Amino acid sequence: MQTDYLVIGSGIAGLTYAVKVATAKPSAKVVVLTKTFSDETNTKYAQGGIAGVWDAMNDSFEKHIEDTLIAGDGLCNADTVKIVVTEGPQRIREIIEWGAQFDLDADGDYALGREGGHSEHRILHHKDVTGKEMERALLQKVASLPTSVFLIIILYSILLPSTTWGTSLPKALLILPAMGYMYSIWKHMP
Protein backbone atom coordinates (compact mmCIF):
# COMPACT_ATOMS: atom_id res chain seq x y z
CA MET A 1 0.00 0.00 0.00
CA GLN A 2 1.33 3.40 -0.90
CA THR A 3 0.44 6.71 0.77
CA ASP A 4 1.50 10.33 0.81
CA TYR A 5 1.16 10.65 4.60
CA LEU A 6 1.29 7.86 7.16
CA VAL A 7 -0.07 8.78 10.60
CA ILE A 8 0.39 6.29 13.42
CA GLY A 9 -2.22 6.87 16.10
CA SER A 10 -5.80 8.17 16.07
CA GLY A 11 -5.67 10.33 19.19
CA ILE A 12 -5.91 14.11 19.22
CA ALA A 13 -2.44 14.64 17.69
CA GLY A 14 -2.77 12.06 14.91
CA LEU A 15 -6.28 13.02 13.87
CA THR A 16 -5.57 16.75 14.03
CA TYR A 17 -2.56 16.23 11.76
CA ALA A 18 -4.62 14.10 9.36
CA VAL A 19 -7.36 16.75 9.19
CA LYS A 20 -4.86 19.54 8.55
CA VAL A 21 -2.94 17.63 5.87
CA ALA A 22 -6.12 16.49 4.11
CA THR A 23 -7.49 20.04 4.20
CA ALA A 24 -4.27 21.65 2.94
CA LYS A 25 -3.64 18.96 0.29
CA PRO A 26 -7.01 17.53 -0.80
CA SER A 27 -5.47 15.25 -3.42
CA ALA A 28 -3.07 13.64 -0.94
CA LYS A 29 -3.73 10.14 0.39
CA VAL A 30 -3.56 10.04 4.20
CA VAL A 31 -3.51 6.72 6.06
CA VAL A 32 -4.16 6.76 9.82
CA LEU A 33 -3.25 3.58 11.68
CA THR A 34 -5.06 2.88 14.92
CA LYS A 35 -5.52 0.05 17.37
CA THR A 36 -8.58 -2.16 17.91
CA PHE A 37 -11.15 0.64 17.44
CA SER A 38 -10.76 4.09 15.93
CA ASP A 39 -11.58 5.76 19.25
CA GLU A 40 -9.41 3.51 21.44
CA THR A 41 -6.87 6.17 22.35
CA ASN A 42 -5.40 7.86 25.40
CA THR A 43 -7.26 11.00 24.29
CA LYS A 44 -10.58 9.25 24.88
CA TYR A 45 -9.72 8.58 28.52
CA ALA A 46 -8.66 12.14 29.40
CA GLN A 47 -11.25 13.20 31.97
CA GLY A 48 -9.87 16.60 32.88
CA GLY A 49 -10.56 19.72 30.92
CA ILE A 50 -8.52 21.72 28.47
CA ALA A 51 -6.94 25.00 29.57
CA GLY A 52 -6.89 28.22 27.61
CA VAL A 53 -7.00 31.96 28.28
CA TRP A 54 -10.61 33.01 27.57
CA ASP A 55 -11.21 35.92 29.96
CA ALA A 56 -8.84 38.70 28.88
CA MET A 57 -10.07 41.00 31.66
CA ASN A 58 -9.03 38.65 34.47
CA ASP A 59 -6.49 36.37 32.81
CA SER A 60 -3.50 36.60 30.50
CA PHE A 61 -1.01 34.45 28.67
CA GLU A 62 1.64 35.60 31.13
CA LYS A 63 -0.40 34.35 34.11
CA HIS A 64 -1.12 31.03 32.42
CA ILE A 65 2.58 30.60 31.54
CA GLU A 66 3.57 31.41 35.13
CA ASP A 67 1.00 28.95 36.55
CA THR A 68 2.27 26.21 34.23
CA LEU A 69 5.93 26.79 35.04
CA ILE A 70 5.22 26.81 38.79
CA ALA A 71 3.13 23.63 38.58
CA GLY A 72 5.84 22.05 36.42
CA ASP A 73 8.36 22.52 39.24
CA GLY A 74 11.32 23.11 36.92
CA LEU A 75 10.51 20.23 34.54
CA CYS A 76 8.89 22.36 31.81
CA ASN A 77 10.67 23.88 28.85
CA ALA A 78 9.72 27.57 29.10
CA ASP A 79 9.77 28.10 25.32
CA THR A 80 7.44 25.15 24.77
CA VAL A 81 5.09 26.33 27.53
CA LYS A 82 4.92 29.77 25.90
CA ILE A 83 4.02 28.26 22.51
CA VAL A 84 1.39 25.90 23.95
CA VAL A 85 -0.23 28.61 26.10
CA THR A 86 -0.29 31.34 23.43
CA GLU A 87 -1.52 29.01 20.67
CA GLY A 88 -3.89 27.12 22.98
CA PRO A 89 -7.03 29.23 22.50
CA GLN A 90 -6.65 29.07 18.72
CA ARG A 91 -6.30 25.27 18.79
CA ILE A 92 -9.32 24.98 21.11
CA ARG A 93 -11.40 27.22 18.81
CA GLU A 94 -10.36 24.97 15.95
CA ILE A 95 -11.65 21.81 17.64
CA ILE A 96 -14.85 23.69 18.55
CA GLU A 97 -15.28 24.59 14.86
CA TRP A 98 -14.83 20.88 14.09
CA GLY A 99 -17.73 20.03 16.39
CA ALA A 100 -16.43 19.65 19.96
CA GLN A 101 -18.92 20.84 22.57
CA PHE A 102 -17.95 22.17 25.99
CA ASP A 103 -20.09 22.88 29.04
CA LEU A 104 -21.91 26.22 29.13
CA ASP A 105 -23.11 28.29 32.08
CA ALA A 106 -26.65 29.69 32.52
CA ASP A 107 -25.78 32.68 30.30
CA GLY A 108 -24.60 30.46 27.43
CA ASP A 109 -20.91 31.26 27.98
CA TYR A 110 -18.30 28.59 28.53
CA ALA A 111 -18.37 27.30 32.11
CA LEU A 112 -14.71 27.86 32.92
CA GLY A 113 -13.29 25.86 35.80
CA ARG A 114 -10.36 26.66 38.06
CA GLU A 115 -8.40 23.67 39.25
CA GLY A 116 -4.96 22.27 39.85
CA GLY A 117 -2.23 24.89 39.60
CA HIS A 118 -4.37 27.42 37.74
CA SER A 119 -4.83 30.83 39.35
CA GLU A 120 -7.76 31.77 37.09
CA HIS A 121 -10.89 30.15 35.66
CA ARG A 122 -9.69 28.86 32.28
CA ILE A 123 -10.54 25.15 32.09
CA LEU A 124 -13.14 23.99 29.55
CA HIS A 125 -14.90 20.67 30.20
CA HIS A 126 -17.37 18.41 28.52
CA LYS A 127 -19.06 16.89 31.55
CA ASP A 128 -16.45 14.55 32.99
CA VAL A 129 -15.37 13.14 29.61
CA THR A 130 -13.58 15.98 27.83
CA GLY A 131 -11.14 13.71 26.00
CA LYS A 132 -13.92 11.46 24.75
CA GLU A 133 -15.76 14.51 23.37
CA MET A 134 -12.67 15.80 21.58
CA GLU A 135 -12.02 12.32 20.12
CA ARG A 136 -15.65 12.12 18.95
CA ALA A 137 -15.42 15.51 17.24
CA LEU A 138 -12.14 14.65 15.54
CA LEU A 139 -13.40 11.30 14.23
CA GLN A 140 -16.52 13.07 12.94
CA LYS A 141 -14.35 15.69 11.21
CA VAL A 142 -12.16 13.01 9.62
CA ALA A 143 -15.30 11.21 8.38
CA SER A 144 -16.50 14.44 6.75
CA LEU A 145 -13.30 14.84 4.71
CA PRO A 146 -12.76 13.61 1.16
CA THR A 147 -12.05 9.91 0.77
CA SER A 148 -8.31 10.58 0.72
CA VAL A 149 -8.19 9.90 4.49
CA PHE A 150 -8.28 6.24 5.46
CA LEU A 151 -8.52 4.87 8.99
CA ILE A 152 -7.02 1.39 9.22
CA ILE A 153 -7.52 -0.61 12.38
CA ILE A 154 -4.53 -2.76 13.26
CA LEU A 155 -3.31 -4.92 16.07
CA TYR A 156 0.42 -4.45 15.67
CA SER A 157 2.62 -2.08 13.72
CA ILE A 158 6.34 -1.77 13.42
CA LEU A 159 8.00 1.35 12.09
CA LEU A 160 11.01 0.12 10.18
CA PRO A 161 14.28 1.95 9.57
CA SER A 162 14.49 3.33 6.07
CA THR A 163 17.30 0.94 5.14
CA THR A 164 15.43 -2.25 6.13
CA TRP A 165 14.76 -3.28 2.55
CA GLY A 166 17.63 -1.42 0.92
CA THR A 167 15.61 1.70 0.20
CA SER A 168 15.47 5.21 1.57
CA LEU A 169 11.66 5.20 1.71
CA PRO A 170 10.10 5.25 5.20
CA LYS A 171 8.06 2.07 5.78
CA ALA A 172 5.73 0.57 8.34
CA LEU A 173 4.95 -3.12 8.63
CA LEU A 174 1.43 -3.96 9.76
CA ILE A 175 0.66 -7.33 11.25
CA LEU A 176 -2.94 -8.46 11.68
CA PRO A 177 -2.59 -11.98 13.06
CA ALA A 178 -6.31 -12.60 13.60
CA MET A 179 -6.89 -12.02 9.90
CA GLY A 180 -3.66 -13.65 8.74
CA TYR A 181 -2.46 -10.53 6.93
CA MET A 182 0.76 -8.59 6.82
CA TYR A 183 1.06 -5.31 4.93
CA SER A 184 3.87 -2.96 4.12
CA ILE A 185 2.99 0.71 3.84
CA TRP A 186 5.43 3.17 2.39
CA LYS A 187 5.61 6.85 1.64
CA HIS A 188 5.00 7.77 -1.95
CA MET A 189 7.88 9.79 -3.33
CA PRO A 190 6.88 11.84 -6.40
pTM here is 0.80
What are the structural domains of the chain? 1-44+132-190 (3.50.50.60), 48-128 (no CATH)
Measure the CA–CA gap between 18 and 15, rounded to whole angstroms. Answer: 5
pLDDT tens, per residue, the chain with 190 residues:
677 888 888 899 999 999 999 999 888 888 888 877 777 787 888 878 999 999 999 999 999 999 999 999 999 999 999 999 999 999 999 999 999 999 999 999 999 999 989 999 999 999 999 999 999 999 999 989 876 767 666 655 555 555 544 555 555 655 555 555 555 555 554 4
Q: What is the rounded CA–CA span in Å between residue 55 and residue 43?
A: 26
Q: At what angle do helices 78-97 and 130-144 cross, to 10 degrees?
A: 60
